[in-house]
Structure 1
Amino acid sequence: MISEPFDPADAATWIARGRRPDHAAILADAWQRFPDLPNEADREARVARMRDRALALRPVMEAMSRANDEERQARNFGFTEGKVGRGEGDARDDAILRGRTLHGYDWDRAVRYASGWYAAHAGWEPEARRAGSPSPASLAYDQGFADGGGDRDDLFDTARRAFEAAPSPDARPAVQRARPLPSTWPKPTDEPLPARWTRRLLILGAPEAGLFGERASPPSDAALLLPALRAAAGPDELTVILVSGAGFHRLGEDMTAIIPLHGDALPADRRVGDRLRSLLAGRDFDDILVAAQGDYLRLLDLHAPALPLCRTMERTRNTVLQQRTHFRIWLERGLMAGESLGAGHIRWGKAVKGLTGKLGEFTARYAGKQPGRGHRIIVETPEGRLATGYVSARGEPLSPETIIGNRAHLRKTMAARLRAFGGATRLTATPVPDLLDLAAA
């Protein structure tokens, strides 16, 4: 056990600490032949004893270093072989493996070989040679450069290879999809324009809606989003489509037909896409969010032509926590009937006294804690004055001061106030100073 007394002269001590038996024997032998001298011994003698022991331990230290390096190289080559085997490798990965196969290079020299080969293949100039005798790495680079078609002795070699590597003017450009797949849509941000709930579409995977079927557990990469949707204001006017192993469903329909989806049984039937078209028929959308992961997202990609094109198309991604954050950002961009909100990205910053946020001409600032009241938030104009005299689209006056009880809601409340003022109308004009007062000043 590690808690037992440490005896460096015993091979079992080193084996218990992860050393190989042959290395442990050498370590124990060195400590047996050169044990520590007592503290009363001469200082020079103790230093000499430690020096002798270090010399005796050098072979095993070098062997351990070589073993670690061999393990590193085997791990790197294995990773590269796996990439190439899965079809994910590039030309540089192929060159690394070719350098090992043709020339017997280790990992470091194979990487240098690949760099030289790629430089020649891409039409680049070769690396400048350093003065002195060439190192094994530079020799491997030169070999790769030569195998790639480069010639250091040819004055016009770089120009020739650059011409050969340049794409032909007649080459057809890569075909780009006119309708991007949902899996390629960006994550939600606060930059797009807010949209009314009646013109928003939410596509939820069955796990995100909390519907997994019988004897099925929720996947670890899916965030439960339906409770947050029901807690938000305005989702009654929102169009929500569910994705399951049986296809597409409208939220609120009979949920008995919803079954889990497995990747080996994606329903690619044309009738599934027609079902999605029928659910969206007669509706116009300005904002679409896809909250589905894994196989549910792949099913949606199969039937992407059934989705409408609109101004904003986004999807949640990454960890469960990030998916919830993306969903919250998307919910905050919803507009109720008769409501007007300021659009754009809110710039957050830390002032000396606390958090600040800016949207357009308005600045929301944390004004500190008020005794017995809570935390105070104020909204200011560019002149540093309180934003007074503003009314919402419904004619309701907006107060430049807000008090909240929980500081954890500070950022959310500041964002809401900034967007409210961004979509507000000012009824009182800025007072113009009297010319006589200016002259007197």
Structure 2
Amino acid sequence: MISEPFDPADEATWIARGRRPDHAAILADAWRRFPDLPNDADREARRARMRQRALALRPVMDAMSKAADAERQARNFAFTETRIASGKGDDRDRAILRARNLHRYDWDRAVRYASGWFAATAGWEPEARRGQGETPATLAYEEGFADGGGNRDDLFDTARRAYDAASLPEAQPVPTTGRPLPSTWPKPTDDPVPARWARRLLILGAPEAGWIRESAAAKIESPLLLPALQASEGQDELAIVVISSTGFHALQNSMPDAAAIESLSGDAVSFDPRLEDQLRSLLAGRDFDDILIAAQGDYLALLDLHAVALPLCRTMERTRNTLLQQRAHFRIWLDRGLMPGESLGAGHIRWGKAVKGLTGKLGEFTARYAGKQPGGGHRITVETPDGQLASGYVSARGEPLSPETVIGNRAHLRKAMASRLRAFGGATRLVANRAPDLLDLATA
């Protein structure tokens, strides 16, 4: 903020406020030649002095207006060029640039040229001529209309152009790429088939891995996912890659310089063949069935640029949206991991209403909340379609599965029910019929 007194007759005053030196000299000279009259001077004299100063300032005001207009036109042309270079431009954008390159039109006349050209190629009626005479804008429109194939003197011109426009073949749709970008991957669900930890890949952004300085991490809203990962079984066999401002890294047990890594800025996001080779080397020699991307913002954009180095596999997902949703997505993905020798049921679990007693169904099995236990805890049962307890099932390791489970914390009810359903979904039934109760035999 400028706190010194304002002296309009001093060139330095105007330069300090962003004026060019030549403009500042004209401004200061006008104020020196035509300063304000005292407040007690005649009102008409004061008005005359203001008019004199305004006339003296007109050259610099006109120059500033022209400079602003030139900047506007350059900015608009640059925006149009960027649209075309990125593949988002249309025929009108290309006509604007053609008018600038061929006819040396400024922005306003180039837009009018493009309007005339587009009207001619689309088979439209030309704009009606008004009695205001020819102007640069109307001449540019007529030039574009003629370049597009229009002819005002031809009685059947509009009909001919409309017929030609209707007979043009439709543009063929651009084929989609065979390798979807990570930013387009869906969110994790419980639908995919569980995969073994050794065939899973997790790619974390530096904020999600806790690799950002504390001062920078406070400005980035990202969930810290490593604690949940470290609490899960099988994470030692998981392949983990971290995206940072310096490239791609394998997550290790100890990172002495992790806290010194700076956050990634959008200006630094660009394709680098060395980063692509770096990512390929980290994934070399591994086969994957399941990939999860837990990165957002610039980190995800950097991965998109080097997505060609990622393998294609059965399940490819990424976390998204709010912090709570990202954590929930991550927990869903962790629950799909398989330990060696373990077998879990796959598919979507259909949940019933909790007000009627929470139930979950997976295949032929139904997990049901059976209420509180007298001695404490909450009871979960797994039933078959006939309403009987799912007895006689063993896991892939040969361990018998109990159809009843008691948990201590009701907050973990849904997670425990899902775990039991998947365990029974991957189990084998060894006993076809329920064994008779000894009391029933004694009674008989």
TM-score class normalised by the smaller sequence: 0.5 to 0.7
- Name the SS of the counterpart of 1:216 in structure 2: helix
Q: 1:219 to 1:360 in 2, by over 3 A?
A: farther
Q: Which amino acid aligns with 1:256?
A: D
Superposition deviation, residue 255 in structure 1: 5.0
Instruction: Map residues 45-56 of structure 1 onto 2, 5 A cutoff.
Output: none
Q: 1:162 to 1:283 in 2, by over 3 A?
A: farther
Superposition deviation, residue 218 in structure 1: 4.1
Instruction: Map residues 157-236 of structure 1 onto 2, 5 A cutoff.
Output: 168=169, 171-213=171-213, 215-236=215-236
Please give the per-residue CA displacement for 1:199-245, whole angstroms capped at 9, x wherever unaligned. Answer: 00000000001110474224443111011100111100000000000
Superposition deviation, residue 163 in structure 1: 11
Superposition deviation, residue 162 in structure 1: 12
Q: Distance in 2 between matches of 1:165 and 1:283?
A: 54
Superposition deviation, residue 90 in structure 1: 12
Q: Distance in 1 between matches of 2:168 and 2:221?
A: 42
Instruction: Tell me, yes or no, if the aligned pair for 1:212 and 1:218 is still in contact at 8 Å.
Output: no
1:279 matched to 2:249: no
Q: Distance in 2 between matches of 1:405 and 1:217?
A: 36
Aligned to 2:407: 404
Q: Distance in 1 between matches of 2:163 and 2:351?
A: 47
Instruction: Tell me, yes or no, if the aligned pair for 1:186 and 1:315 is still in contact at 8 Å.
Output: yes
Aligned to 2:320: 317
Superposition deviation, residue 172 in structure 1: 2.4
Aligned to 1:371: 374
1:290 matched to 2:258: no
Instruction: Map residues 18-417 of structure 1 onto 2, 5 A cutoff.
Output: 168=169, 171-213=171-213, 215-252=215-252, 254=255, 256=257, 258-350=261-353, 353-417=356-420
Q: Distance in 1 between matches of 2:361 and 2:413?
A: 14
Q: 1:407 to 1:432 in 2, by over 3 A?
A: closer
Extract structure 1 runs of 4+ deviating beyond 4 A: 84-87, 161-167
Aligned to 2:27: none
Q: Distance in 2 between matches of 1:383 and 1:415?
A: 20
Superposition deviation, residue 295 in structure 1: 0.4
Superposition deviation, residue 371 in structure 1: 1.6
Q: Which amino acid aligns with 1:194?
A: P
Q: 1:310 to 1:209 in 2, by over 3 A?
A: same
Q: 1:396 to 1:310 in 2, by over 3 A?
A: same
Instruction: Tell me, yes or no, if the aligned pair for 1:221 and 1:293 is still in contact at 8 Å.
Output: no
Instruction: Tell me, yes or no, if the aligned pair for 2:392 and 2:434 is still in contact at 8 Å.
Output: no
Q: 1:163 to 1:380 in 2, by over 3 A?
A: farther
Q: Which amino acid aligns with 1:233?
A: E
Q: 1:384 to 1:352 in 2, by over 3 A?
A: farther
Q: Distance in 2 between matches of 1:285 and 1:429?
A: 37
Aligned to 2:156: none
Greater CA deviation, 255-264 or 194-203? Answer: 255-264
Q: How many residues align?
A: 281
Question: Higher Cα Rg: structure 1 or 2?
Answer: 2
Superposition deviation, residue 173 in structure 1: 2.1
Q: Distance in 2 between matches of 1:167 and 1:420?
A: 60
- Name the SS of the counterpart of 2:324 in structure 1: helix
Please give the per-residue CA displacement for 1:337-395, whole angstroms capped at 9, x wherever unaligned. Answer: 00000000000012764100000000000011112221110000000000000001111
Greater CA deviation, 258-267 or 198-207? Answer: 258-267
Q: Which amino acid aligns with 2:339?
A: M
Instruction: Tell me, yes or no, if the aligned pair for 2:216 and 2:262 is still in contact at 8 Å.
Output: no
Please give the per-residue CA displacement for 1:274-301, whole angstroms capped at 9, x wherever unaligned. Answer: 0000000010000000000000000000
- Name the SS of the counterpart of 1:419 in structure 2: helix
Aligned to 1:158: none
Q: Which amino acid aligns with 2:266?
A: G
Superposition deviation, residue 432 in structure 1: 12
Q: Distance in 1 between matches of 2:165 and 2:335?
A: 53
Structure 2, unaligned runs of 5 or more: 1-78, 91-121, 123-161, 437-444
Superposition deviation, residue 256 in structure 1: 2.2
Q: Which amino acid aligns with 2:329?
A: H
Q: Distance in 1 between matches of 2:176 and 2:249?
A: 30
Identity %: 71
- Name the SS of the counterpart of 1:417 in structure 2: helix
Q: Distance in 2 between matches of 1:411 and 1:359?
A: 13
TM-score by length of 2: 0.59
Q: Distance in 2 between matches of 1:167 and 1:370?
A: 75
Q: Which amino acid aligns with 1:181?
A: L
- Name the SS of the counterpart of 1:240 in structure 2: strand
Q: Which amino acid aligns with 1:185?
A: W
Q: Distance in 1 between matches of 2:412 and 2:163?
A: 58
Q: 1:336 to 1:218 in 2, by over 3 A?
A: farther
